[in-house]
Structure 1
Amino acid sequence: MAKRIIIVGGGTAGWLTAAYLIRSLGRSGWSITLVESPDIGIIGVGEGTFPTIRETLSAIGVDEREFLREADGSFKQGVRFSGWTGGPTPGNDTDDYFHPFNLPYGGDEGLLPYWIKAAGEARRPSYADAVTVQGHVIRAGCAPKRASDPGFDGPMNYAYHFDAARFADYLRKVATANGVERIEATINEVRQAEDGRIAAVVPGDGRAAIEGDFFIDCSGFRALLIGKALGSPFRHVGDVLFNDRALAMQVPHGDADTPIRPYTLATAHEAGWTWDIGLGARRGIGYVYSSRHSDDEAAERVLRAYVGKAADGLSPRQLRFESGYRSVQWIGNCAAVGLSAGFFEPLESTGIMLIEVAARMISDFLGSPAIDEAAMAAAARQYNRLMLARFDAIVEFLKLHYCISGRRDTAYWRDNSDAASIPEGLRDKLAQWRHRPPSRFDFVVDHETFLPASWQFILYGMGFRTDPAAVSSSHRDDEQAGAAFVRVFQAARQAVAELPPHRALLEQLRAA
């Protein structure tokens, strides 16, 4: 007999989870039902993703070109940071660095020691430019692939930007076409069995209760199931990650042929930072800030000054949030996915990546509908161990962007560098990395959203200094390393020559 998974809530979290589970579990005997409220809108400001999204979209049977058209998608090759390090002029090479999605040439530790050894050389390139070609590609405005390349594949590693509302609508079409049942209703009651497990959710319009065997909470910040019904505590991390508000605008392109950046631009300001994302039809721009360091009026002035005249006549949308996550994310027969599980500011686009991870883990851990009570309890414990460790690792990675900055011009940046606001694990890493490069032993891969290379790109992009003496004696193949740096530079020139402009490729793919 088939068993029923009930997903409460739509949006990106609900529909991406539903689309993934119907493909992975539908044939094994699970049915998927999603209950979506017509009265509750989606948050809809998350427009950036991580390269894993390509594998996820492929797994749910999506065509890349169709997805780009339906979601107004564009390509993202990483994040460019301006004004974060404390250099003299934001936007200048001394205060501008790139976190690319391409992995370093030669692996995580291949060329890093030799780049560190060259610290005294006046013409030493940035770490990202020395070990990858992608910085050269994005500065030239190139796409990560060509029209002839297969879907979800290309010479450069990449993710996407898209319109979050259109993406959710598209996922709904994909999921329902594959067999997901959609019920349009607003849930106002959660019924629990005597053992505390969820038995059903009840619509507020008098319709019958919706019963299920396993429930997934995608109800957003309300956390209707995992929080209100099951009582999982919320673990606040606002003492580490200060930002708790955002103002967002949808800004039209100046002209139809305006170049579209193939990356997210993150620009630091007095009490936070702006994201700037280029889509086919518009730019998504927002200011993320700390209410302890700025009031809302000052924040809006920062956003409008950044956008310029294009902001005239536009009203920003405000989002208030608490950074943190549920300390237990799978209880009994219910797991939380998306905002109900936790939320961080959109720096490095962790939101959708966490949805992907959760959907895959639930798929693997549920397996057959014949799963018994003991196996379900064991799956919950494993899920909670892995997800909490992942959330903790993300907190450290995001804090890295702030705490090693040389900026001291405002209280916001001074407070971010205060050791009391830095998690102990990150303090320990930084203390060691001043005397040695990061090692694979610093990371537990199954707990990390970000590979060691990403830590290196942020660490050395921000101007962190590892003592060159730590690598001088143990790494002596200077001639071979020098030849490898030359090969990276040559490959960059070739990539820029062969890859098309970003907007031109998007128009070509959408027209096909």
Structure 2
Amino acid sequence: MPDKRGIIVVGGGTAGWLTAAYLARFFEGRIAITLLESPEIGIIGVGEGAFPTIRSTLQFLGIDETHFIRAASATFKQGIRFDDWLHAPGPDGARHHYLHPFEAPFYTEGGSLVPYWLLQGEATRPPFAEAVTIQNRVAEARRAPKKAGEGDYAGPLNYAYHFDARRLAEVLEARAAELGVRHLRGLLTGVELAEDGSIACVRTDAHGALEADLYVDCSGFRAELIGKALGSPFKSVKHQLFTDRALACKIPYDRPDAPLESFTVATAHAAGWTWDIGLEGARGIGCVYSSAHMSDEEAAEVLRGYIGHDDYKARIIPFEPGYREAQWVKNCVAVGLSGGFLEPLESTGVVLIEAAVAMIAELYPHNGPADAPAARFNRLIAGRYANIVNFLKLHYCLSRRQEPFWRDNADPASIPEALRELLDQWRWRPPSRFDFLLDLESFAFFNYQYVLYGMEFRTDLASGRGDFPNVAAAEKLFARIRAFSEQATKDLPGHRALIREINAGASLGA
């Protein structure tokens, strides 16, 4: 009988511990999982967000939702509100905002409501997300997406979470230990390569040489294995996504019962945007910016202006937007920042970790060459990164702001060709599911619709108005959505009230 295969995960944090726990759960002891973590590398715990896929991931790991919320200082996230992205605040104080909710637009067997919204008068119709889903009004009213007792990871509305990244890593570490992951603490001191260029072993200060069949690089931006040892090239997309720095901090609420938003607030500024994430006991706030358009001192001033005081400590986080097209090389695969990072917008960092580890679990062979899935994995992960670049760029290139950063983003030369082609088509029809290949996407066609029409993109259906004759039926459905929105806002608990109830002892389990 052949020896049991082994996998070594190098690095902790969200990427490392999620990878280790997921693989341990998937392989159920058939493969030995070891995680090597440096005791000197910390985790930034200023607040982070996820996409709704995180619910399936946590459920697969067997982590109780109530426990997760308590232990990770988590709150509910129903989407992202974008403030001032279309245009800067006017001299009269007029501001623009729109919501990208997680709930899909309401559809019927007869088709989509989107064309009927597009054919309504632009001056009188409600915002797109408000017209096609009840979640817009629920989230704006600071209601929760579910009630206590409705079951783990279930509820009437789609949702994800905000959480403290350090505490999430602790939750994942504890679950990984329960699943049999071996945890080693020690510094990585070297990587030895075999004659064929694969990794022969990793060397540590505390445990000497460690050998495995597969090495997973979760060492963050340092990319100790995939980058330094194996030399997989990094593809920069800075010519398309300009932000490359963030100032991040955490500040307490001014009072214990302060309102708790159930979406991330993303507020545009002259050279980027700020995130505002509501955790249970504090707000995680960050200023994301382009160093080519704004200095560190100017970014610090933007952050101070947003917060309203300077009683906090902020940490500068530099990053290069881009990714490695070959993230599986020989017997090494990158997960998380070692494979790539685009920017904080839309929580794609965690989404890409989830996608990578799920593919590793499904594709990794139980015998034979460890790199057999490499070519397929690399095609899928590189395609996913490229499409996320398109989706993120969409947020910027439609802006009418006049600062240099925003004008540069609207320059067609900075827009990926694939996105330019889609935008040309979407001037005459809304985004369709046939525009995207499912296995290469992190976002659905309706996610694009929320951004497009939130940013007042014009799709002209006027010449084909006769193709949409069910106007009266559509109006009834729009009215029903409004009524359901009002009822849900009354029925669902306040967001802070539900989080407080959970932390006081209530359970979400059915």
Q: Normalising by structure 1, what TM-score?
A: 0.95
Matches within 5 A, 1:155-166: 155-166=156-167
Is the contact made by 1:113 and 1:471 (CA closer than 8 Å) also made in structure 2? no
Give the aligned partner of residue 389 of structure 1.
Answer: 383
How far, CA to CA, are the matches of 1:90 and 1:154 in structure 2?
A: 42
User: Are the counterparts in 1 of residues 79 and 99 from structure 2 also a CA contact under 8 Å?
Assistant: yes
- Tell me, what secondary structure is at the counterpart of 2:195? coil
Structure 1's 345 and 247: CA in aligned 2 closer, same or farther, altered over 3 A?
same
Q: Which of 4, 7, 25 pairs up with 2:6?
A: 4
Aligned to 2:406: 413
The code of the aligned residue for 1:330 comes to W
**Code of the aligned partner of 2:504:** A
Residue 252 (structure 1) aligns with: 252
Q: Which residue of 1 is the match for residue 340 of structure 2?
A: 342
Superposition deviation, residue 443 in structure 1: 1.0
- Could you say what secondary structure the match of 1:243 adopts? coil
Given that 1:326 and 1:342 are in contact with CA atoms closer than 8 Å, whether structure 2 keeps it comes out as yes
Q: Which residue of 2 aligns with 1:281?
A: 281
User: Cα offset for 1:303?
Assistant: 0.4
Question: 3-state SS of the aligned residue for 1:265?
Answer: strand
After superposition, give the CA deviation of every residue in 1:331-381 in whole Å (9 maximum; x if it has no partner): 11111000001002110000011111111100000152x2x12xx444111
Q: Which position in structure 1 is the counterpart of 2:115?
A: 113
Q: In structure 2, give the amino acid aligned to 1:405.
A: S
Residue 267 of structure 1 contacts residue 275 of structure 1 at CA under 8 Å; is this kept in 2? yes
Look up the match of 1:300: 300
* Aligned match of 2:503: 510
Alignment check: 8 A CA contact 2:47 2:250 kept: no
Q: Distance in 1 between matches of 2:301 and 2:407?
A: 22
- Aligned residues of 2:52 and 2:159 also touching (Cα < 8 A): yes
CA-CA distance at 1:89 after TM superposition: 4.2
Classify the secondary structure of the residue corresponding to 2:208.
Answer: coil
Counterparts of 1:501 and 1:440, CA distance in 2: 34
Question: Which whole-Å CA distance do the structure 2 matches of 1:395 and 1:215 have between them?
Answer: 27
Asked if 1 retains the 8 angstrom alpha-carbon contact of 2:83 and 2:95, the reply is no
After TM superposition, the structure 1 = structure 2 runs for residues 401-480 of structure 1, keeping only pairs within 5 Å, are: 401-408=395-402, 410-469=403-462, 471-480=464-473
TM-score scaled to structure 2, two decimals?
A: 0.96
Q: Cα gap change, 1:259/1:275 in structure 2, threshold over 3 Å: closer, same or farther?
A: same
Q: What is the aligned length? A: 502
Residue of structure 2 equivalent to 1:331: 329
Cα offset, 1:441, TM superposition: 2.0
CA distance in 1, matches of 2:93, 2:108: 29
Task: Report how far residue 473 of structure 1 moved.
Answer: 2.6
SS in 1 for 2:98: strand
Q: 2: distance between equivalents of 1:367 and 1:18?
A: 17
Letter of the 2:471 counterpart: D
- Residues 132-281 of structure 1 correspond to what in structure 2 (within 5 A)? 132-205=133-206, 207-281=207-281
- Residue 313 of structure 1 and its aligned partner are, at CA, apart by 2.5
Q: Could you tell me the percent identity over the aligned residues?
A: 52
Between 251-260 and 34-43, the greater mean CA deviation after superposition: 34-43
Structure 2 CA distance for aligned equivalents of residues 269 and 209 of structure 1: 49
Decide whether aligned partners of structure 1 residues 429 and 503 sit closer, same or farther in structure 2, where only a CA change above 3 A counts: same
SS at match of 1:428: helix
* C-alpha distance in 2 between matches for 1:268 and 1:23: 41
The aligned counterpart of 1:291 is 291
SS in 1 for 2:285: strand
How far did 1:95 drift?
1.0
Q: Please tell me whether the aligned partners of residues 45 and 167 of structure 2 are also in contact (alpha carbons under 8 angstroms).
A: no
CA–CA distance in structure 2, aligned partners of residues 280 and 319 of structure 1:
24
Q: 2:356 is paired with a residue of what secondary structure? A: helix
Q: For residue 483 of structure 1, what is the aligned residue in structure 2?
A: 476
Compute the displacement of 1:101 (Å). 0.2
Show CA shifts across 1:249-282 (max 9, x none).
1010110111111100000001110000001110
Match of 2:508 in 1: none
Q: 1:345 is matched by which residue type in structure 2?
A: E
What's the CA shift for 1:43?
Answer: 4.4
Aligned partner of 1:60 in structure 2 is 61
**d(CA) in 2 for partners of 1:236, 1:5:** 29
* 1:44, distance to aligned residue in structure 2 (A): 4.3
Q: 1:18 is matched with which residue? A: 20
Q: Which residue identity does 2:271 align to in structure 1?
A: A
The DSSP-based 3-state class of the residue aligned with 1:438 is coil
Whether contact under 8 Å (2:46, 2:249) holds in the other structure is no
Distance 2:94 2:492 in 1: 24
Q: Matched residues in 1 for 2:381 and 2:396: separation?
A: 24
Gap runs ≥5 in structure 1: none
What letter is aligned with 1:455? Y
Matched, 1:39 2:33: no
Change (3 A) 1:507 1:34: same
- Measured in 2, the distance between the counterparts of 1:54 and 1:367 equals 27
Q: Deviations over 1:148-178 (max 9, x none)?
A: 2101111110000001111111211111121
Cα gap change, 1:91/1:465 in structure 2, threshold over 3 Å: closer, same or farther? farther
Relative to structure 1, is the Cα distance of residues 470 and 322 closer, same or farther in structure 2, using a 3 angstrom cutoff?
farther
| CA displacement at 1:122 relative to structure 2 | 3.2
Deviations 1:370-401 (A, max 9, x none): 2x12xx44411110110000000000000000
The answer as to whether partners of 1:192 and 1:199 remain within 8 angstroms in 2 is yes
Quote the residue 2:52 is aligned against: 51
Q: Does the Cα contact within 8 Å between 1:436 and 1:471 map onto a contact in 2?
A: no
8 A contact 2:48–2:164 mirrored in 1: yes
Cα distance in 1 for partners of 2:37, 2:464 equals: 56
Q: Please tell me the root mean square deviation across aligned C-alpha atoms, in Å.
A: 1.6
8 Å CA contact 1:117–1:471 kept in 2: the answer is no
CA-to-partner distance for each residue in 1:18-77, whole Å, 9 max, x for gaps? 1111000134x1010000000122344561000000000010010111111111000000
Write out per-residue CA displacement over residues 191-232 of structure 1, whole angstroms, 9 at most, x where no aligned residue: 121111112110035x32011111100000011111111111
Change (3 A) 1:92 1:54: farther
Opposite residue 35 of structure 2, the aligned amino acid is: L
Contact 1:5 1:32 (C-alpha < 8 Å) held by counterparts: yes
Is contact 2:47-2:279 (8 Å) kept?
Answer: no
> Judging changes above 3 Å, is the alpha-carbon distance between structure 1 residues 25 and 471 closer, same or farther for their aligned structure 2 residues?
farther
Query: How far, CA to CA, are the matches of 1:92 and 1:138 in structure 2?
Result: 24
Deviation at 1:123, TM superposition (A): 2.3
SS at structure 2 position matched to 1:319: strand
**Secondary structure in structure 2 of the residue aligned to 1:348:** helix
Residue segments in structure 2 that go unaligned for 5+ positions in a row = 506-510
- Distance in 1, matches of 2:64 and 2:93, equals 39
Give SS of 1:430's match: helix
